[in-house]
Homo-oligomer: A and B are copies of this chain.
Amino acid sequence: MCEANVYVEKDGHVDLLLESVYLIESEGDRWHLENIFGEQKVLRGTFKVLALSEDKIVLQEVEAD
């Protein structure tokens, strides 16, 4: 088992959203994240990159309508 840190890109900045994520589910542009500590976050966005060599996943946030 491994985990990845999920970063969010918004307005040209890339910030850590949730660390040690092991589960991501997507429904349209909604991303449900869960980490090994039981923390959950939901983000509206698009997928950009997964780089497991750096334990990193980057999502891009979209503005709410």
Q: Which residues of A contact B (CB under 8 A)?
A: 1-4, 21-26, 46-53, 55, 57
Contacts and interface: CB of A to CB of B under 8 A. Distances in A.
Nearest to A31: B47
22 contacts: A1-B53, A1-B55, A2-B2, A2-B52, A3-B52, A4-B52, A21-B52, A22-B53, A23-B49, A23-B50, A23-B51, A23-B52, A23-B53, A24-B49, A24-B50, A25-B48, A25-B50, A26-B47, A26-B49, A47-B47, A50-B50, A50-B57
Nearest to A36: B53
Copies in the complex: 2
Nearest to A49: B25
Contacts of A3: 52
